[in-house]
Structure 1
Amino acid sequence: MAMHKRLALAVALVTSIWVQPSHGDDVWAVVAFINHGEREPVVNAPSISLTPEGAQQMLRQGKAFRARYLTDLSDSDYDHIGAARLHNINADMIDNQVLDITSQSDDYVNGGAMAFLQGLYPPSFEAFRDNREEIDMARDYTKSGDNITDFPLNGYQYPNIRTLGMLDPTSTSIQGNLRCSAWESEIRRNLSRDPNLEELYDATLSFYQGLFSTSPMQGTINLEGANLWNAYELYDFVSYEYVHNETVNEGLTNATELLATMNSWATTMERAKNAYINGTADSDDVEEKAKLYSIAGRTLSSRIALQFISNVKRNGDRDKMALMFGSHEPIVAFIAMAGLLDEESVSQGPFSLLPEPGAAMVFELYGEDAQNPEVMPSFDDLMVRFFYRASADADEDFVLYPLWGIDPENGTVPFSTFVQVMQDFGVSASEWCNICGPNPAPWCANSYYYDDERSCKKEMSAATAGGLGAFFALAVVLLGWIFWRLLQRKMNKENQQPANAAPSPSTAAAGGFKGPEKKAGDRDVAVTGNGIHHERVGSWEMKGATTVPAVAAVGVTTKDSTRVTASQRRRSFDDDDDDAISVMGATPVKAHESV
């Protein structure tokens, strides 16, 4: 049975027995995936930088999140944003224990994440003075008068942003399509064989060829690449040049209509790459194709579910806000997987076009225990809702969308249903290796995986285990032979000595490592039984494994035994300073300045 039918059945079974709980808008956790801000076009790779406008976009998006989840803003441009306050979180000072911030390693993505955090937690000169729990850290009693020392730049705050490079298995959760060799091969070989895309290719070829063979775009792009297969790269380039190149801005005729057309074609291609929406047959082949094409959305789905599970396991006290910064592919893939594409949304609305710079998908975990509102309710009373903020503009709203067609009127999904469906859709890091192989990342060769206890382990392949077994067997045989030879030599020497011979006093006194050659003044070498102490370093998977309750403790049934919650998985990477990648040392800037 195909995946979509199994998911439909699971949703039907769970929702059929669910009773509407009474809940408020007390938000316990937020998980968001945010697209990067404006940057230089990808044709400039590998040197791609975040633009000042891109940083401003991310700053504005951070302000919008602050207005919704933390506190009211003095900026009236954000008054229209509905408040949904996060439970028991400091609105003025960053607490890196309750924030989980991850970013792609690209400079323009990581830089945008820093700008976003400036909007979410702007510099606050009075933050320490207003926070009695933290004020002692700022005091200096060796000074007279005002003995409070604030952070530089009027209280700039320092978030812990973890950049996930290719050596980190967690990187697949926010960029599942990157280095996925099977996905790249599929796109190169088979996408051009799609009859609908072939037809669109023929219909648009003259447009692309004409655009790049006439002024003002003439000579900027090799005409061999000016076609539908590069629709995203071409739109990305032309739209950037129209904004930042005076000649293109003045010489491009019908620019608004032209860019809208290019955006539409680019969206068609990116959707075809990241969502297998043409397969309808009930077969394993279709299911495998769907999993491969939507790999970026599936790895993200797994991460989102794990973030919420982590929050629930800790009674809402940790992982209150998880922010992931990346590119458009996971957004495109997830929108299709979530059942948000229909005839209307494909032709109009935010899902009909590419995600705007700074666009955000937001998931909220909320609910309330009427008898004890300060305590997280049972998971039966927890709900999840999905919002899409289509751009970083100040006047953009957080728009609610129903996931998988569940409760289209209110857009709410029971927590248990949400986790079940997301994990059925989801792809873990080890599964990613199998889907994207062979060996799409260096760590795949070692088969790293996470178990339910959230400790990182390492499996050996059969070949590796066999080789090690043979090596140890040979070592045992060799050591046995050496021991036998030494024993034989000792026995031979004893047999050669006369039975009535006795060692002379001088010989006995001169025993030790030199034997009869030892002089009276020579000292023996003393070897302790402790040997040399070697500290085991450099192995993140062996550090501080912590046992935590199984997922079943919160009433969540996982798809397999390798499911894991996100914060515990994070611990295996960032509990030790030498294992974390941080931007703590980056040059701070003021919130109101261009970055």
Structure 2
Amino acid sequence: MYGDHTPLVLPGPATLTPLGASQMHDQGAAFRHRYLDISRDDGFVGIVGINSETIDNSQLHIESSTDGCSAAGAMAFMQGLYPPRPDTSCQLPNGSVMDYPVCGYQYPNIRTISPRVDPDSIWGRGHDGCTKHEKLLLLYNNNGNVDSIHQSSKVFYGRLWDKVFSEAFPRSEASFYNAYDLYDYAAHHWTHGNRTRSAMTSEDLERLHQLAWEEQTLRYATISGPGGIQDGLTDAIAGRTLASRVTALFIENMQSRGARNKLNLAFTSHEPFLGFFALTNLSGGASERGPFAQLPRPAATLTFELFSVDQDRELANDSNKSTDLSTSSRSSNGIPYPSIDKLHVRFLYHNTTAADNERGILMPYPLFGSGRSSMSFKHFNATMWQIGVANTTTWCRVCESEAFFCAAVNPPPPGVPALAAALLGALLTLVAVAVVLAVLAFLA
């Protein structure tokens, strides 16, 4: 997700701070270290056939929400991934030599997507414009768990109101119901000023962070029905659309035999992260202090690697090494595209700041409680489609959305419940795409 930014509660749109831009740049450099820098032996994985020094936009798919933090974060990340090349120039007919501006700055093609206007916006922000989910949020304060946490945290928030929040929040809003906005405000001032550090302790900030995670999880990552993840498709809706986007981009790479979508990047906010954690049993089994039992930190990344395994090599049951069994980009570009039986997917997560982890090392984690650091693409694809949303039409119907692009979507036929229609749409889509790699990263 995007890096350090101005508080969301302040008037006007939030903007990326210099620290936030540096965090995104450093994360881009970490991706370069892992996937592009062929001179490195430690932690290098590589992507077959990708340009490592100059941007070839035909090999990349980059998308971002239109908000300033995501769009600016995407540009900063790409500067770290593909640094300027001061040695790039051209000679004009009059004999003069012209360099690119800003010491060889490279120009990525970043597609910015407007929520509620562009149908592709649902893949990175599936909660935005989902009317049914927004209606459920209106009942948020009536939730028993919410009220219990609200009551137990009233004294804590009341103590901090005079010291930290009084300039931006009415006293009545300093409560668990606004836990994320309160944490976002306090974290910014903790990072950028001494006054907040003298008014509260690091333990206070950490409790604000934990309460914000609980509040946002209850809003965007709750699997509420007795039927689990299939009981209501609006539960964790942003995680569902993210899951579908991952498989769709991998399939586009497979259909082109690896020519396109070699590296896919999406820049968004934290809601898809939390929804995905819940749907894939990452947060359900998380320890109290584990990486999935907290909000994603600035410049956190979800990464999915599609790689091939030699026929005679056995896939490791559990490996924390970032280099195991990956297809190396040091091979020639003429390598035959692997068969689907040889393709596997690894999920990696990075949720620490550059100060904690200088190179932003990506750590693998098992999905769906499998206990393995990777799984076959066939299994991954089938499972992701089970939790996902098949297409924009399905999303419009399930969400009962009033978004501009949903106007032409017909309601389900009489007698067919919305969920049944959604599952039917997912099944038909799965049949169409079941036989179709690359790296996909979501950054909030």
Secondary structure of 1:64's counterpart equals helix
**Distance 1:182-1:342 versus aligned 2 partners, 3 A rule:** closer
Aligned 8 A contact 2:240 2:388 in 1: yes
Q: 1:104 is aligned with what amino acid?
A: S
The count of residues paired between Structure 1 and Structure 2 equals 397
Sort the Cα spacing of 1:94 and 1:184 in 2 relative to 1 into closer, same or farther, 3 A: same
> In the TM superposition, what is the alpha-carbon distance from 1:248 to its structure 2 partner?
2.3
Show the counterpart of 1:62. 28
Partner residue, 2:184? 236
CA 1:317–1:164: 2 relative to 1, 3 Å: same
2:230 aligned to 279, 282, 287, which one? 287
CA distance in 1, matches of 2:360, 2:401: 43
8 Å Cα contact 1:174-1:330 kept in structure 2: yes
Superposed displacement of residue 198, structure 1: 1.6
Separation in structure 1 between the aligned mates of residue 220 and residue 42 of structure 2, nearest angstrom = 31
3-state SS of 1:85 partner? coil
1:508-562 deviation per Cα after TM superposition (whole angstroms, max 9, x unaligned):
xxxxxxxxxxxxxxxxxxxxxxxxxxxxxxxxxxxxxxxxxxxxxxxxxx72148
**Is the alpha carbon distance of 1:353 and 1:561 closer, same or farther for their aligned partners in structure 2, counting shifts above 3 Å?**
closer
- Flag structure 1 segments of 5+ consecutive residues without an equivalent: 1-34, 74-78, 129-137, 448-458, 463-557, 566-595
Q: How does 1:26-45 map to 2 (within 5 A)?
A: 35-45=1-11
User: Do residues 159 (structure 1) and 102 (structure 2) align?
Assistant: no
CA distance in 2, matches of 1:267, 1:108: 20
Which residue in the other structure is 1:192 paired with?
141
- On the 8 A contact 1:93/1:127 being kept in 2, the answer is no
Identify the residue that residue 267 of structure 1 maps to in structure 2. Answer: 213
Matches within 5 A, 1:41-120: 41-71=7-37, 82-120=43-81
**Separation in structure 2 between the aligned mates of residue 460 and residue 223 of structure 1, nearest angstrom:** 44
Report the alpha carbon displacement of residue 81 of structure 1 after superposing the two structures with TM: 5.8
| Structure 2 residue 199 is the aligned partner of structure 1 residue 252 | yes
Matched, 1:400 2:400: no
Structure 1 segments of 4+ aligned residues over 4 angstroms from their partners: 368-373, 459-462, 562-565
Tell me the CA shift for residue 201 of structure 1: 1.0
The residue identity in structure 2 corresponding to 1:420 is A
SS at match of 2:257: coil
Q: Tell me if 1:356 matches 2:305.
A: no
Q: Hey, what does 1:559 align to over in structure 2?
A: 427
1:207 partnered with 2:156: yes
The answer on whether the counterparts of 1:55 and 1:115 sit within 8 Å (CA) in structure 2 is yes
User: After alignment, is 368-377 or 388-397 more displaced?
Assistant: 368-377
Residue type at the aligned position of 2:178: N
Q: Per-residue displacement from partner, 1:260-306 (whole Å, max 9, x unpaired)?
A: 00111111111111222454x348xx7343x2121001111111100
Describe the SS at the equivalent of 1:375. Answer: coil
Tell me what 1:572 maps to.
none
Q: Match for residue 322 of structure 1?
A: 264
Q: Among the aligned pairs, what percent are the same residue? A: 33
Structure 2 Cα separation of the partners of residues 160 and 380 of structure 1? 33
Instruction: Check if 1:332 corresponds to 2:266.
Output: no
Q: Relative to structure 1, is the Cα distance of residues 95 and 370 closer, same or farther in structure 2, using a 3 angstrom cutoff?
A: farther
Alignment of 1:15-26 (within 5 A): none
Matches within 5 A, 1:468-547: none
Matching residue of 2:325? none
8 Å CA contact 1:92–1:127 kept in 2: the answer is: no
| C-alpha deviation, 1:85, in angstroms | 0.4
Alpha-carbon distance in 2 for matches of 1:80, 1:236: 38
Paired residue secondary structure (2:169): coil
CA contact (8 A) 1:273 1:293 kept: no
Pick one of 157, 165, 171 that aligns with 2:121: 171
2-side partners of 1:278 and 1:184: how far apart?
A: 15
Q: Deviations over 1:197-244 (max 9, x none)?
A: 2211111012112211x2344343111111111111111111112222
**Map of 1:581 onto structure 2:** none
Does the C-alpha gap of structure 1 residues 263 and 385 become closer, same or farther in structure 2, counting only changes over 3 Å?
same
1:123 and 1:155 in contact (8 A); partners too? yes
Unaligned runs of 5+ in 2: 313-330, 414-425, 434-444
Q: Is the 8 A contact 2:224 2:235 kept in 1?
A: no
Q: Equivalents in 2 of 1:352, 1:169: separation in Å?
A: 31
Structure-2 residue corresponding to 1:516? none
1:348-497 to 2 correspondences below 5 Å: 348-368=289-309, 374-393=335-354, 394-406=358-370, 408-409=371-372, 411-427=373-389, 428-439=391-402, 441-447=403-409
Aligned to 1:133: none
Q: Is this contact kept in 1: 2:26–2:77, CA < 8 A?
A: yes
What is the TM-score with the length of structure 1 in the denominator? Answer: 0.63
Against the structure 1 CA distance between its residues 438 and 108, is the aligned structure 2 distance closer, same or farther, given a 3 Å change threshold? Answer: closer
**Residue by residue, what CA displacement relative to the aligned partner does 1:114-166 show, whole Å, maximum 9, x if unpaired?**
000000001012357xxxxxxxxx454x344xx76432222110000000013
Residue type of the alignment partner of 1:108: C
Q: Is the 8 A contact 2:113 2:120 kept in 1?
A: yes
Structural RMSD (CA): 2.6
Structure 1 residues 68 and 232 mapped into 2: Cα distance closer, same or farther (>3 Å)? same
Moved more, 42-51 or 55-64: 42-51
CA contact (8 A) 2:164 2:186 kept: no
